């Protein structure tokens, strides 16, 4: 019977021992050898206080005092030094019987270390969640909040202390940003669905105080060891600013920055889409703005931009919302007209052309060249329709080019005459003087006609000069002279744009050069100045002296 008790005593996985109330080991089992490294004989010759960690001595003595009073000690923990010098954490259950203490203990060192690691890791994760820049809410399987970080508090308006224990949907109230009425709370979805997936979307969150925030959320279920869902973690951020920036980027990627119309990239995408939809008949219109280069070169790009904006506004005013209007080049536009016949397109373009022709910028009437073609057969590619429309526009521009240039020249001269009454008289007088000069010099007929025309057009560039300066009767200051000196170059650009001869444009450019090199804009001297320009210089100086103008 004693042998059986000894066998059970020694094979027990617990640390079993008998000691007296003074702390001397009387009997220990074999498990002590494994844990501390001492033999049972070595241990039975010692007092257990010899093994206790110095910091645990006082607590151990208190436990021994309690035992000496015949009171049991349960779940007491202290540290014992093993033979190799390391300490093991021992948890005790001790029962006194007279002068002896019967105790069962276990080595919980690994458990203690693991628990410490778990606690440290938990604190580290908690600190991470609380400190990241996104809002974080952790909830259990029932959807009750366990944790919120500062960002989540700021976005939702709830403090963590008041939110913990509440259902997520009480604190985190969201609706679908795409469809508020049909939107469902994504948190509930994740918690209550069996087949979980990570969800990521943009929602509208209503805070505790009633304000709304546009947020992007990611909801992830937390899995246990058995792959069962034990809760969720919500990570969300305020994306109002980033969504706005993204919208701006998307807008700019498909729109022309100047006019606000669609750009070429969008037009090409839309062309393919319309081809697939096949909503026949489909008409494509190509529009080219006349005198665009002239406007930019003479009046500046600000005026050119205004011209494009005005024409864009007029296109929008005559088109339907379903029509696609795009700026596909510097001065070129395209319109896609779904379900529009050739006759309907012709009427639309006529209204547009009439409206445009009534507008003026810096004295110039606006005008366009256009071409259009209609797709009536589903087998025809819209790209071919576009090419035909473009060819028609180009042909119209060529045919009408001379008339447009002549009208533009007339309008520029009229605009100049409106600015200053004496400019018309000056141009006529200089032209007459050039004819008289040609007769007196016995010039050939071709030279005479060229000189007479130059006399009439030499100051056409003055259209860019402020009328205040043109009509100024007192001395002209240096800043005004800077403005005046622009007109030969402006005249040169106008005449080149109107396809006058290169010679006429060149003579216009140099008619304010001086024999001694003091003229402008090039500072030419002597015979480097074309003789035609020298004739104009003499004629207009003489005319100015006798005309009585300011």
pLDDT, one tens digit per residue, over 376-395 is: 988 899 999 999 999 999 99
27-62 confidence digits (pLDDT tens): 999 899 999 999 988 898 889 899 999 999 999 999
Q: Is pTM, for the whole model, over 0.75?
A: no
* Alpha helices (runs of H) in 47-108, residue ranges in sequence order: 57-68
Q: Does residue 460 surpass a pLDDT of 80?
A: yes
Hey, which of 192-201, 344-353, 465-474 has the most confident mean pLDDT?
344-353
Where residue 400 falls among pLDDT bands split at 50, 70, 90?
A: confident
- Which residues pair with residue 325 across a beta bridge? 335
Distances (CA, A) of 3 to 7, 522, 533: 6, 127, 138
Query: At 367, is the pLDDT very low, low, confident or very high (cuts 50, 70, 90)?
Result: confident
- Strand order of the β-sheet with 173-176 is 145-148, 135-140, 229-238, 212-223, 199-206, 173-176
- Using the predicted structure, report yes or no on whether residue 24 has a pLDDT greater than 70: yes
Give the model's pLDDT for residue 194.
40
Q: Give dist(CA 490, CA 510) in Å, integer.
A: 12
Q: Is pLDDT at 511 greater than 80 in this prediction?
A: yes
Token pair listed for 186? 């994504």
- Among 75-89, 130-144, 477-491, 515-529, whose mean pLDDT is lowest? 130-144
Written as six digits, the tokens of 415 are 């605009």
| pLDDT for position 181 | 47
Over 50: is that where the pLDDT of 538 sits? yes
- Give dist(CA 528, CA 315) in Å, integer: 50
Q: Is the pLDDT of residue 91 over 90?
A: yes
Q: With a cut of 70, say whether residue 336 has pLDDT above it.
A: yes
Instruction: Please name the residue that has the structure tokens 């034990």.
Output: 230
Our CA angle for 513, 405, 304, nearest 5°, is: 80
Please check whether residue 304 is in contact with residue 252, taking contact to mean a CB–CB distance below 8 angstroms: no
Q: What is the pLDDT of residues 204-243, one digit of tens each?
A: 888 888 888 888 888 888 877 677 888 888 888 888 777 7
- φ, ψ of residue 404 to 5 degrees: the values are -65, -45
Average pLDDT, the chain: 86
pLDDT of 283 strictly over 70: yes
Residue 525 has pLDDT above 70, yes or no: yes
pLDDT score for 233: 86
Q: In whole angstroms, what is the distance from residue 276 CA to residue 378 CA?
A: 9
> pLDDT by residue (tens digit) across 76-88?
999 999 999 999 9
pLDDT tens for each residue of 152-201: 888 888 998 998 999 988 888 887 755 554 445 555 544 554 444 444 47
- DSSP letter at 98 equals T
Q: How do residues 114-164 score in pLDDT, each as one tens digit?
A: 877 777 777 777 777 666 778 888 888 888 998 888 888 888 889 989 989
| 382: Cβ contacts below 8 Å, ≥ 6 apart | 271, 272, 274, 275, 282, 284, 375
What's the confidence (pLDDT) of residue 487? 93
Residue 125 CA to residue 428 CA, distance in Å, equals: 91
Q: How many helices (H) and strands (E) does the chain have?
A: 22, 18
Diameter of the chain by CA atoms?
Answer: 157
When comparing pLDDT for 105 and 299, which is higher?
A: 105
Which is higher by pLDDT, 210 or 320?
A: 320
Higher-scoring residue by pLDDT: 189, 316: 316
* The two structure tokens encoding residue 24: 């001397």
Tell me the percentage of the chain whose pLDDT exceeds 90: 45
CB 451 within 8 A of CB 438: yes
Q: How confident is the model at residue 537 (pLDDT cuts 50, 70, 90)?
A: very high
Closest of 415, 406, 431 to residue 495, by C-alpha = 406
> Residues for the chain: how many in total?
550
Determine the Cα angle at 397 with ends 394 and 402, to 5°: 145
Rounded mean pLDDT, 250-256: 84
**Residue for token pair 């990521």:** 200
Q: What is the pLDDT of residue 130?
A: 66
Residue 25 pairs in a beta bridge with: 19
- What integer pLDDT is reported at residue 442 of this predicted model? 93
3-state SS, residue 278: coil
């Amino acid at each position: 019977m004693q042998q059986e008790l000894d066998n059970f005593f020694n094979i027990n996985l617990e640390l079993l021992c008998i000691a007296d109330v003074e702390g001397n080991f009387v009997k220990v089992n074999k498990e002590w050898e494994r844990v501390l490294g001492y033999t049972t004989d070595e241990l039975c010759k010692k007092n257990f206080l010899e093994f206790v960690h110095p910091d645990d001595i006082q607590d151990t003595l208190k436990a021994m005092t309690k035992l000496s009073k015949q009171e049991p000690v349960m779940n007491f923990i202290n540290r014992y030094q093993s033979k190799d010098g390391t300490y093991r954490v021992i948890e005790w259950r001790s029962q006194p019987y007279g002068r002896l203490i019967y105790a069962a203990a276990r080595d919980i060192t690994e458990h203690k270390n693991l628990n410490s690691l778990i606690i440290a890791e938990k604190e580290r994760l908690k600190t991470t969640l609380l400190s990241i820049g996104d809002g974080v809410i952790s909830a259990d399987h029932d959807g009750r909040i366990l944790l919120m970080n500062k960002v989540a508090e700021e976005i939702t308006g709830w403090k963590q202390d008041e939110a913990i224990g509440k259902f997520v949907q009480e604190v985190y109230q969201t609706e679908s940003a795409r469809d508020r009425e049909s939107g469902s709370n994504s948190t509930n979805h994740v918690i209550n669905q069996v087949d979980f997936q990570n969800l990521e979307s943009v929602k509208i969150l209503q805070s505790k105080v009633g304000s709304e925030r546009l947020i992007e959320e990611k909801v992830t279920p937390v899995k246990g060891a058995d792959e069962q869902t034990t809760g969720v973690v919500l990570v969300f951020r305020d994306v109002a600013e980033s969504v706005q920036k993204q919208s701006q980027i998307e807008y700019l990627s498909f729109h022309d920055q100047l006019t606000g119309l669609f750009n070429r990239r969008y037009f090409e995408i839309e062309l393919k889409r319309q081809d697939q939809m096949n909503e026949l008949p489909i008409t494509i219109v190509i529009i080219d703005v006349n005198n665009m280069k002239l406007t930019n070169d003479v009046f500046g790009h600000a005026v050119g931009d205004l011209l494009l904006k005005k024409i864009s506004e007029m296109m929008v005013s005559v088109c339907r919302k379903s029509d696609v209007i795009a700026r596909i080049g510097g001065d070129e536009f395209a319109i896609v007209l779904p379900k529009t016949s050739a006759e309907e397109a012709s009427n639309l373009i006529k209204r547009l052309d009439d409206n445009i022709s009534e507008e003026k910028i810096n004295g110039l009437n606006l005008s366009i060249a256009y071409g259009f073609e209609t797709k009536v057969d589903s087998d025809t590619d819209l790209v071919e329709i576009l090419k035909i429309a473009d060819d028609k526009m180009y042909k119209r521009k060529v045919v009408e080019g001379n008339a447009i240039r002549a009208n533009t020249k007339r309008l520029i001269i009229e605009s100049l005459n409106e600015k200053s009454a004496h400019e018309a008289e000056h141009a006529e007088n200089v032209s007459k003087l050039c004819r008289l000069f040609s007769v007196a010099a016995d010039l050939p007929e071709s030279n005479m006609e060229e000189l007479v025309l130059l006399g009439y057009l030499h100051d056409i560039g003055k259209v860019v000069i402020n009328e205040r300066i043109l009509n100024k009767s007192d001395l002209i200051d240096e800043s005004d002279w800077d403005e005046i000196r622009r007109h030969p170059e402006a005249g040169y650009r106008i005449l080149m744009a109107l396809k006058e001869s290169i010679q006429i444009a060149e003579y216009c450019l140099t008619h304010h050069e001086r024999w001694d090199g003091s003229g402008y804009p090039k500072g030419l001297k002597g015979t480097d100045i074309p003789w035609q320009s020298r004739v104009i210089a003499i004629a207009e100086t003489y005319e100015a002296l006798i005309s009585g103008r300011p």
